Amino acid sequence: MTEPVPRALIAEDEPLLAAALQQDLARVWPELQMVAVVGDGRSAVRQALALRPDVLFFDIRMPGQSGIEAAAELADAWPDDQPFPALVFATAYDQYAVQAFEAQAVDYLLKPIQADRLARTVAKVQGLLAQRASAVAATGAAPAALSAALPSPELEATMAQLRALLGAPGVGTAPAAAPAAAATRLSVIQASQGTQIHMVPVGEVVYFEAADKYVRVLTAEREYLIRTALKELIEQLDPQEFWQVHRSTLVRATAIATVTRDEAGKQHLSLRGRPERLPVSRMYAHLFRAM
Amino acid sequence: MKLRREFNGVSKLRHYLQVVAFTLVVATIQCTFMPDKPYGPPVVYSVLIGTFTWAIIDLGRELIPSAAETGWPQGWQGIALVMVGIVVGYLAGTLLADTLCVHYFHFYPAGSLISGADQRTSILITAIAGLVGTFYFYAVNKSAYLEGKMAEARMHASESRLKLLETQLEPHMLFNTLANLRVLIGTDPTRAQHMLDRMIAYLRATLSASRSTQHPLALEFERLRDYLELMAVRMGPRLAYTLDLPEALRDVPVPPLLLQPLVENAIRHGLEPQVEGGHITVRASTQESPHGPLLVIEVQDTGAGLPATLPTPGPGQSFGLAQVRERLATLHGAAGALELIAIQPSGTSATVTFPLKSAAIP
């Protein structure tokens, strides 16, 4: 059986740095095949899903979507019958990010990337891929095929890491304020509608849904639009009261009636007080387990 | 910052020992001028009066809400405390000293101890010594307080200078630029040299910005060009820019790197979040106003625009804008302004306006 050629994808918004990483990789890992080099997070997710590489090199600060957010979205959409790619983050200088990476044992490269540091990372990734290949050879089948509809333990571990990174200060899209800025809890949502401002008690909200530049605020009776980022809203709400079940949804925990898993393994929520069914992303599926 | 001063036993003991030393000096002086009298009694009187006066004033001021500056009660309370301290200290000290002298030392009886003249002298000495002592402690406290204040102010100043430097030499920008340079050295040495020259000029300007107070607008635009060129290497086709400086305005004096934070914001919050990047225009012009001609410098980007809500700006952003406002206010007072507006269809425009000194226009 011939060894499959390892394939990689680079997401880096600075063209020179992307080209340089590609060249350096060609030197330390000649067999590696570069399937795509993209300049932003959304393209990275799209291309990775289409091309299914084995290794991902993601820059942290990228336009549109940060490397970590892109990785989280990718983990959500990644098919179950394939192992999740080995993930390497790159950052120029982000003390928070580096702390978070260290804490989560995620591999990262500091820019400017030094040749020997890159070689060490490459050796680590090669080891991981070899380990996977031998596991496949031993069972004679793709490992995830044995337990269809359930994410592999590796993907579970990756998602746990990404969840921690997304929650870590200074790692998201915006260079966030210092962690000390503990926002005060919100008790009323102020939603403007025409010339009026509606005062919506947070206690009446069933769920929040991000929609483009807005957030939809849904109570049992009505719907409002506010121009606040969901991320900012999350910081001002009680995490026990509202659960994030998807990148774009925040649900009142006590309003969730049932959680249903479909044939594809996807979970959906039905709510008390609202007719909609909300999808649960894989990143947050760990919230719902029978007691 | 108001600190509730805490009772400090060691410092009170130190005060007391100073008081005792002072009373001994007073007694000694007294004896020097009256060599015919024995040395013992004046010492006893002096020390006892000093002790009572000290106890009332130094311990008493702990019971009165003291002023933060000096640790002394303010206004009439302070004066009354000193007066009561001296009078009661004198009376109580004298009484106790009389008793002690009669019972233990068997000096002359109390009645003949102090003649009218001696009593007046004694009161005068107590009053003067009390006031001198009080003034001494007051001055010591005050200077300690002022020294603390000065240290605090020094710390603030160096902290804000550090913060300014950190925003200007943003490590993320610095390391990314170095990463690009590292690549160019291998692939395109000429371009690498060009980039390095820009970076040297940028660093030199940043590090010396605090030292010179004004430089010509033409130089300011050169520094912006350095920064934008560095960013253009990094961002590639995602960054395009135009610098528009009319010939007539080249020599107008401006504070160095005044516009830097505005351009940095345009890139960081305007262009960087957008996948397609955008265009930055920096334009200088003049405008007539009732108070004479104004210089108007506009930094405009076609970026992501102002965020819908502005409650939690990043640490760099708020500091950058605040710094521009502060410098404008220092130089031009209310006549200098910084205005931030959203432009259609997308983007932000930051406009700096301040009076144009007529001498600057040819």
Q: Lowest-pLDDT range, A41-45, B116-120, B202-206, B300-304?
A: B116-120
A200: in domain: yes
Let me know whether B139 and B226 are in one domain. Answer: no
Same domain, A38 and A126: yes
Residue A232 pLDDT greater than 50, yes or no? yes
Find, among A86, A12, A8, A95, the residue nearest to A53 by Cα. Answer: A8
HSE-up of residue B89 (Cα within 13 Å, Cβ side): 32
Are residue A27 and residue A161 in the same domain, yes or no? yes
Kindly state whether residues B235 and B332 are assigned to the same domain.
yes
Q: What is the pLDDT of residues A122-131, one digit of tens each?
A: 999 999 888 8
Look at residues A167, A197, A229 and tell me which one is the last residue of a structural domain: A167
The CATH number of residue A139's host domain is: 3.40.50.2300
**pLDDT of res. B232:** 93
Same domain, B85 and B228: no
Domain boundary among A133, A167, A201: A167
Mark whether A17 and A150 lie in a shared domain: yes
Question: Does B337 lie in the same domain as B276?
Answer: yes
Q: Check whether residue A43 and residue A145 sit in a common domain.
A: yes
CA distance B286 to chain A (A): 36
Category of A212 on φ-ψ map: left (φ > 0), alpha (ψ -120 to 50) or beta = left
Decide if pLDDT at A100 tops 50: yes
Same domain, A61 and A197: no
Determine, yes or no, domain membership for B326: yes
Residues B109 and B188 in one domain: no
Q: Is residue B164 part of a domain?
A: no
Half-sphere exposure of B235 (CA within 13 A, CB side): 27
What number is the average pLDDT over the span B254-269?
Answer: 89
Q: What DSSP character marks residue B269?
A: I
More confident residue, A167 or A214: A214
Query: B70-96 pLDDT, tens per residue?
Result: 667 777 777 788 888 888 888 888 888
* Per-residue pLDDT tens over the stretch A8-57: 999 999 999 999 999 999 999 999 999 999 999 999 999 999 999 999 99
User: Taking the CA atoms of chain B, what radius of gyration do you get in angstroms?
Assistant: 36
User: From CA A79, how far away is CA A36, in angstroms rounded?
Assistant: 19
Mutate which: B167, B170, B172, B268, vs A, most A CBs within 10 A:
B172
pLDDT tens per residue across span B143-157: 888 888 888 888 877
What integer pLDDT is reported at residue A23 of this predicted model?
92
Domain that holds residue A266: 188-287
Same domain, yes or no: A135 and A37: yes
To the nearest whole Å, the CA of A164 is away from the closest chain B CA by 21
More confident residue, B44 or B111: B44
Read off the pLDDT band of B315 (50, 70, 90).
very low
End-to-end CA distance of chain A: 45
What value does the mean pLDDT take over residues A81-104? 81
Decide if A14 and B274 are in contact by the 8 Å CB cutoff. Answer: no
Does any domain span residue A182? Answer: no
Residue (of A194, A56, A64, A205) closest to A125 by Cα position: A56
Q: Are residues B134 and B189 in the same domain?
A: no
A49 contacts A77 by C-beta, under 8 angstroms: yes
CA–CA separation, B60 and B189 (whole Å): 78
Task: Dump strand ranges (E) for chain A.
Answer: 7-11, 33-38, 55-59, 86-91, 108-110, 188-193, 196-201, 205-211, 214-219, 223-226, 242-246, 249-252, 256-261, 267-271, 277-280
Q: Which of B126, B155, B184 is the last residue of a domain?
A: B155
A147 and A90 both lie in a single domain: yes
**Tokens standing for A89?**
């983050």
Is A184 touching B (CB cutoff 8 A)? no
Cα separation, B85 vs B91, whole angstroms: 10
Residues B337 and B328: beta-carbon distance below 8 Å? yes
Instruction: Please tell me whether residues A221 and A161 are part of one structural domain.
Output: no
Same domain? For B99 and B182 the reply is no
Mean pLDDT of B121-147: 82
Q: Is A107 in CB contact (< 8 Å) with chain B?
A: no
Short-list A248, A244, A249, A247, CA closest to A288: A244
In a domain, B4, yes or no: no
Compute the distance between CA of residue B341 and CA of residue B314 in angstroms, rounded to an integer: 18
The strand pair at B278-287 and A108-110 is best described as unpaired
Task: Clarify whether residues B145 and B189 are in a common domain.
Answer: no
Single-letter residue type at B40: G
* B162 is a domain residue: no
Asked if residue B333 is part of any domain, the answer here is yes
pLDDT at A51: 94
B216 preceded by a cis bond (ω within 30 of 0):
no
> What is the number of alpha carbons within 13 Å of residue A6 lying toward its C-beta?
23
Pairing mode, strands B215-216 and A267-271 = unpaired
What mean pLDDT do residues B319-334 have? 83
In the numeric block, which tokens belong to residue A212? 């483009």
Q: Are residues B71 and B149 in the same domain?
A: yes
pLDDT, tens digit, for every residue of A180-191?
A: 345 578 889 988
8 A C-beta contact, residue B270 and residue B301: yes
| CATH code, domain carrying A225 | 2.40.50.1020
Greater confidence (A14 vs A3) lies with A14
**B179 with A92: Cβ contact below 8 A:** yes
- Among B183, B185, B268, B318, the strongest candidate for a mutation testing the A interface, having the largest count of A CBs within 10 A, is B183
**Is some CB atom of chain B closer than 8 A to the CB atom of A213?**
yes
Position A280 in a domain: yes
Q: Is there a cis peptide before residue A53, judged by omega within 30 degrees of 0?
A: no
The more confident residue out of B69 and B117 is B117
To the nearest whole angstrom, how far is the Cα of B76 from the nearest Cα of chain A?
Answer: 45
User: Which of A61, A112, A183 is nearest residue B182 as measured by Cβ atoms?
Assistant: A112
Given a cut of 70, whether residue B126 has pLDDT beyond it is: yes
pTM: 0.68
Look at residues A136, A167, A198 and tell me which one is the last residue of a structural domain.
A167
Task: Provide the CATH number for the domain around residue B353.
Answer: 3.30.565.10
Domain count, chain B: 2
Looking at the structure, tell me whether residues A13 and A108 fall in a common domain.
yes
Residues A141 and A234 in one domain: no
> Can you give the pLDDT at residue B312?
42
Q: Which among B273, B312, B313 has CB closest to A63?
A: B273
Domain end position, chosen among B127, B155, B183:
B155
Which residues form the domain of B285? 171-360
Instruction: Quote the number of domains for chain A.
Output: 2
Query: Is pLDDT above 90 for A235?
Result: no
Query: Is A63 within 8 Å of chain B by CB?
Result: yes
Residue B163 lies in a domain: no
Domain match, A132 and A268 both: no
The C-alpha atoms of residue A254 and residue A269 are separated, in whole angstroms, by 12
**In A, which residues are within 8 Å of B238 by CB distance?**
13, 39, 63
* Pairs from A129-137 (Cβ < 8 Å, separation ≥ 24): A129/A6, A129/A54, A129/A55, A129/A86, A132/A83, A133/A3, A133/A4, A137/A1
Which of B182, B308, B315 is facing A227, going by the closest CB pair?
B308
Residue in B199, B312, B317 to test binding to A, most A beta-carbons within 10 Å: B312
Q: What angle do CA A212, A217, A220 make, to 5 degrees?
A: 140
Looking at beta carbons, which residues of chain B come within 8 Å of A182?
Answer: none
pLDDT recorded at residue A146: 44
Lowest mean pLDDT among A193-207, B26-40, B167-181, B227-241: B26-40
Note whether residue A174 is domain-resident. Answer: no
With an 8 Å Cβ cutoff, is A227 touching chain B?
Answer: yes
Closest partner residue to A177 (CB to CB) among B180, B235, B312 is B312
Give the distance, in angstroms, between the CA of residue B193 and the centroid of all CA atoms in the same chain. 42
Q: How far is CA A143 from CA A40, A87, A152, A191, B112, in A?
A: 31, 19, 8, 49, 114
Whether residues A134 and A229 fall in one domain: no
Q: What is the ipTM of this complex?
A: 0.74
The answer to whether residues B177 and B254 belong to one domain is yes
Can you state the angle between helices A41-51 and A67-77, rounded to 10 degrees? Answer: 30
pLDDT cut 70: percent of chain A above it: 89
Residue B1 located in a structural domain: no
Q: Are B286 and B188 contained in the same domain?
A: yes
- From chain B, pick out residues whose CB is under 8 angstroms from the CB of A173: 273
Please indicate, yes or no, whether residues B93 and B147 belong to a single structural domain of this protein.
Answer: yes
Contact at CB, B171 and A93, closer than 8 angstroms:
yes
